[in-house]
Structure 1
Amino acid sequence: MAANPETRLTELGITLPVPAAAVANYVPSVLTGSLLFVSGQLPLENGKAAVVGRLGDNVTIEDGVRAARLCGLNLLAQARAACDGDLNRVKRLVRMTAFVAGTPDFFDQPKVVNGASDLMVEVLGEAGRHARVAVGVAALPLNVAVEIEAIFEIA
């Protein structure tokens, strides 16, 4: 039986944030056919960057995992908004692309991004298992530690 994302959020005690508005010349998401492309989401909490800096420097792996989870919450918030307020329209998470700001010798991007991947499985069940890319980068907007974009299949 497929997970009911709205019910799972309640069971997990998760309240999704208000979806962030675009801050440049792009839109938060694009729905084409049955695919929903959600623009890169930052680890925002209460509208502010919650985890800033670079892994391997001033951000621990635990803080990086938290940042990735926050990105995941913001991805779900954008998906819900694009689905007219109903996450139950999400058939599956197809792919996430994650960017982790780190020092040149930081190599644990996959551990960090598990913060978002684990959240997606918690909320979406089997439909939350996805293809994924975890890339190390030198810097991200607002000096955040993680940014993640996603592609969802929508009913």
Structure 2
Amino acid sequence: MSVYDKLQALNITLPPVAVPAAAYVPFVQTGNLVFLSGHIAKQDGKVWTGQLGKTMQTAEGAQAARAVAVDLLGTLHAAVGDLNKVKRIVKVMSLVNSSPDYTEHHLVTNGCSELIGQVFGDKGAHARSAFGVAQLPLGACVEIELIAELA
């Protein structure tokens, strides 16, 4: 089953690449690696704001991370032209806007990692980091970046 068949089965339509809000580009390819800039969580086209452990619970944070994964896939598609060219998702790095005592960053990030696994299967198994941070741009609850290897 192709990546696009899996996306269709999951009822996911890939969004267009978002216009960068600062001095950077959405992706860079060097050799067979594609580096995607951090994508912040959005809900209904607007920044999904909140702080885990204060104004948001882990389950909602995981939903936000899943939404980020959809945006990342849209950018990756724009970068490579065909997601079936992806040999492997190499790394995901997740920043979670959280209170000082919040400790479930890894569970929030699972929202992204699990969707990537559903879409890419074994090729989606990736290395990962999940960090808690005091704040993110525009008050976003989650920001995630991704590195992919092309065949």
Q: Specify the TM-score bucket, using the shorter chain as the normaliser.
A: over 0.9
Contact 2:97 2:141 in 1 (8 A): yes
- Written as runs of structure 1 = structure 2, the 5 A alignment for 1:89-128 is 89-128=85-124
Name the counterpart of 2:65.
68
- The aligned residue for residue 54 of structure 1 is 51
- How many residues matched? 151
Runs of 4+ in 1 over 4 A off after TM superposition: none
- 3-state SS of paired residue (2:38): strand
Aligned residues: CA RMSD: 1.0
2:136 aligned with 1:140, yes or no? Answer: yes
Residue 46 of structure 1 deviates from its aligned partner by 4.4
SS at match of 1:56: coil
Q: How does 1:10-21 map to 2 (within 5 A)?
A: 10-21=8-19
Unmatched runs of 5 consecutive residues or more in structure 2 = none
Query: In the alignment, residue 25 of structure 2 is paired with which amino acid?
Result: V
Q: How far, CA to CA, are the matches of 1:44 and 1:6 in structure 2?
A: 22
Q: Give the superposition deviation at 1:98.
A: 0.3
TM-score scaled by length of structure 1: 0.94
Change (3 A) 1:23 1:130: same
TM-score (norm 2): 0.96
Could you tell me which runs of 5 or more consecutive residues in structure 1 were left unpaired when the two chains were aligned: none
> Quick one: distance in 1 between partners of 2:60 and 2:13?
20
1:87-126, CA deviations, whole angstroms, 9 ceiling, x for partnerless residues?
1111110000000010000010000000000000011111
> Which amino acid is 1:106 matched to?
Y
Q: What displacement does 1:47 show?
A: 3.0
